Amino acid sequence: MLSHIYAIFTPYEWLLTNKKAGYALGTAFLANIRKYHGLLIAGNESGKRTHLLASLEEKVLFPSGLNYFLDTNFYPDVVYPEGYKLIHNFYFKPYPQFHYYCPKVKEVFLHKHLQMSEDKNAILITYKNVSSYPYKLFIRPKLTFRDHHELSYASAWLDYTLEVNTKEAFIEKEGLALFMYINNGEIKREPLFYYQVFYPLEELRGYAAKEDLFSPLFLEVKLKAGDVLYLLFSDQYIPDFEREQTLIERRYKRIPQIYFERKTFEEKDFPLLLESMLRDFIIKGNIVAGYPWFFCWGRDTFIGLPSLFYLKEGMMVCEEIFETYLKKRERSLIPNVIGPGETNYNSLDGTLWFLLRIFEYLKFFKRKISKEKKKKLLTAVEDFLYTLYFETGLPFYLDLEDGFIEIPENTNKALTWMDVVINEKPLTPRYGKPIEIAFLWHNLLKFTQFYFTKSFLKKFKIEETLAKQEANFYKFFGEALIADRLFKGEPVWEVRPNFVIALSLPYVPIAEENLHRAIKIVKEELLTPYGLRSLSPRHPEFKRKYFGNQYQRDLAYHNGSVWVWLLYPYGLLLKKVYPKEEYLNALKKLIHPFKELILSGKVGSLSELYDGENPYYPKGSPAQFWSVAAIYLLEKERELLTRGGDL
């Protein structure tokens, strides 16, 4: 059934977010198929998300007596009602909107759209009668009041508070609250449960997939031709409903619009649409790595950080992000994962990206950054060098023989972006000297030559270390292959995309023939229309599909699955080799599949990954920061190259 509905609509999902990491997420057919789908999931600064409002039961009653349900629900053995059959068209950007038509007369009668407050956990749902006749709407909110990772059941609603007057309602349970406001109609009490609502994607992912939804009230409203119903839900009291409605609507004015008469966006809208997707991940002082289940990840944030440089407020946003991570360092390392009840430092590359981006930030905004702020940022580099050179007890160390950083086998940690751990053991541990770590470390030292004094360079033997590295990089390169890492002094010839990351960096002291070889390998074994595979199909561990329960998906995560974010380092690699016109054409080709999706108006964001074979359906997180950042940066490359500039 799900594949049938996907074929009619799309497997992509719509997304609304705010600056508190709150969100709303759903499908084109408005059926919740994940436990994370919902109309209001409230966020806070700690990363905790509270699922409050799952969906709405919506029923329309025409003057003739004809009536339809507009909503759709999955149950274990049935889909009921089938309101999706009345959706005439839909768009996800600049916000989700849906047009419903009457099957009897084939006429569109209702336009519905969803918008979210920028600074509050509040969602505005707008219904407009676009027909020539009046009708009634009956609307029931379906409540959850739970952590967004959990499920709720009827037994949780034994005790709650409900206050209702004509145009407002308030529901409270165990310290959680939901406020409801309307501009038209009447709110009435009538408690009702929806039992055993089923989320098929959760079952496919190996998780519990049924829950009970509670509706303590309903709204009845008569809409004449041209009338509009505004329905606002919030986790806090809203003193002025009309003002809040205006603020929410104003938020979306700067984004290109699409509407019933305009079927798709225009090509000129593409950069602005990408920018709006990028903004979806920005919260106060940080970046949400992905919606719905990720919160803040240091590695993801700093890999995608250059995309923020181009925003109007980009310098300030980046400054706040740097400040957040400067405060959270432990032993000079930034946290890999930040979240409610969890902050870990199981990353080496995250800190290297963080320090490299400091240099790039200083270079990009060099005329605008004060000496005091510059000194503070560079102190983070000095702190890391001191820790690496002079302290012990880290899960990695500097090999003074060749100047590379080594991850010892007894660490038992996954310290690179290929970080899946199963039964407390890394699945792709990459012990030894991973190629991208070697080149990140090399680039970090190269930048220090421009920003630190000679006495500093001498103290840490920077130039001596660089010379050792440059004398040993050849070990990664064979006649036909490029090693993924050096382990116990020997190259490991796995074809993974990590050499692409390494060779995309500014300083790559190798022969140009190795760059050409790298591009050849990518084209033959890793490149797909939607990203790079994480492992060559020729490898015996290659997994064709990212599918199944947590264990099955973890096996595929870095063993074949296609990652969108890797297209940006691949683009930078091409830039080192291709002439201008060839590079420009290559950029257009890399961007094209995503451009088509986004201009259709039917993609809310860009997903984390795709299958390793036949990568046509979005997988993993439906909205991932570094995926959007990668395509945004490729588009910036194309724009600036077209204008004769350079990033």
pLDDT band at 645 (very low <50, low <70, confident <90, very high): low
**Amino acid type, 43:** G
For position 647, what pLDDT does the model report? 52
Q: What are phi and psi of 338, to 5 degrees?
A: -120, 130
For position 166, what pLDDT does the model report? 85
Domain total of the chain = 2
What 3-state DSSP class applies to 270? helix
Residue 119 lies in a domain: yes
Q: Does the structure show a pLDDT above 80 at 50?
A: yes
The pLDDT mean for the chain works out to 96
Q: First-to-last CA distance in the chain? A: 47
Average pLDDT over residues 33-42: 98
Q: Does the structure show a pLDDT above 90 at 7?
A: no
Q: 290-303: per-residue pLDDT in tens?
A: 999 999 999 999 99
In terms of Cβ atoms closer than 10 Å to its own Cβ (0-12, 13-18, 19+), residue 435 is buried
pLDDT band at 339 (very low <50, low <70, confident <90, very high): confident
192: left (phi over 0), alpha (psi -120 to 50) or beta: beta
Name the percent of the chain lying above pLDDT 90: 94
pLDDT band at 4 (very low <50, low <70, confident <90, very high): confident
Q: Does the structure show a pLDDT above 80 at 261?
A: no
Residue 197 lies in a domain: yes
Residue 614 lies in a domain: no
Lowest average pLDDT, out of 135-139, 190-194, 257-261, 425-429, goes to 257-261
Q: What are phi and psi of 194, to 5 degrees?
A: -110, 110
Q: Answer with the one of 263, 288, 305 that is the final residue of a domain.
A: 263
For position 3, what pLDDT does the model report? 79
* CATH assignment at residue 216: 2.70.98
The residues, ordered by sequence, that sit 6+ positions from 301 with a Cβ below 8 Å of its Cβ are 286, 287, 289, 321, 325, 625
Q: 105-124: per-residue pLDDT in tens?
A: 889 999 999 999 999 999 99
Residue 443, both tokens: 């680039």
> Residue 6 to residues 32, 77, 96, 209, 398: CA-CA distances in angstroms?
13, 18, 17, 19, 51
Q: Helices marked H in 168-240 — which ranges? A: 200-204
Residue 277 lies in a domain: no
**57-60 — which CB contacts under 8 Å span 24+ positions?**
57/138, 57/139, 57/140, 57/142, 57/194, 57/215, 57/218, 58/83, 58/137, 58/138, 58/139, 58/140, 59/137, 59/138, 59/139, 60/100, 60/109, 60/110, 60/135, 60/136, 60/137, 60/138
For position 260, what pLDDT does the model report? 65
Residue 165 lies in a domain: yes
Q: 397-427: per-residue pLDDT in tens?
A: 999 999 999 999 999 999 999 999 999 899 9
Lowest average pLDDT, out of 102-106, 539-543, 585-589, goes to 102-106
The residues, ordered by sequence, that sit 6+ positions from 241 with a Cβ below 8 Å of its Cβ are 181, 183, 230, 232
Residue 566 lies in a domain: no
Kindly list the strands in the beta sheet with 527-528, ordered across the sheet, starting from the edge strand earlier in the chain. Answer: 527-528, 531-533, 562-563, 609-610, 618-619
For position 254, what pLDDT does the model report? 92
Residue 477 lies in a domain: yes
Rounded Cα distance between 404 and 622, Å, is 36
By 3-state DSSP, what share of the chain in percent is helix, strand and coil, each rounded to 5? 35, 30, 35
Give the domain range for residue 504: 395-509
Average pLDDT over residues 99-106: 92
Q: Answer with the one of 509, 525, 551 that is the final residue of a domain.
A: 509
The residues, ordered by sequence, that sit 6+ positions from 246 with a Cβ below 8 Å of its Cβ are none
Rounded Cα distance between 360 and 358, Å, is 5
Average pLDDT over residues 503-512: 97
Q: Does the structure show a pLDDT above 70 at 143?
A: yes
- Alpha carbon 628 to its chain centroid, in Å, reads 7
Q: Does the structure show a pLDDT above 60 at 84?
A: yes
For position 646, what pLDDT does the model report? 56
For position 106, what pLDDT does the model report? 87
Average pLDDT over residues 452-464: 95
Q: Answer with the one of 476, 509, 542 that is the final residue of a domain.
A: 509
Residue 316 lies in a domain: no
